[in-house]
Amino acid sequence: MSLYTKYNKWNGSSWVNDGKYHKISATGNGSNVADVRIFLCEVGYPSTCVLIK
């Protein structure tokens, strides 16, 4: 089982969603995440996504 995230990135004037799920690596360190909104979702159910504040 893997953990995926979907996020919106601030482009300087609005939040942009690339529409993709991004796999979170077990060795990832969470760097380079400035200006990002992260959503937590149940895998396979996009309608369950909630914004993490």
Task: Please say whether the beta carbons of 4 and 24 come within 8 A.
Answer: yes
Tell me, what's the pLDDT at 28? Answer: 60
Task: Please say whether the beta carbons of 39 and 52 come within 8 A.
Answer: yes
pLDDT tens string, the chain, 53 residues long: the values are 567 777 788 888 998 888 888 777 766 656 666 677 777 878 778 788 888 86
By residue count, the chain amounts to 53
The contacts of residue 37 (CB under 8 Å, 6+ apart) are 7, 8, 10, 15, 51, 52
Tell me, what's the pLDDT at 34? Answer: 67
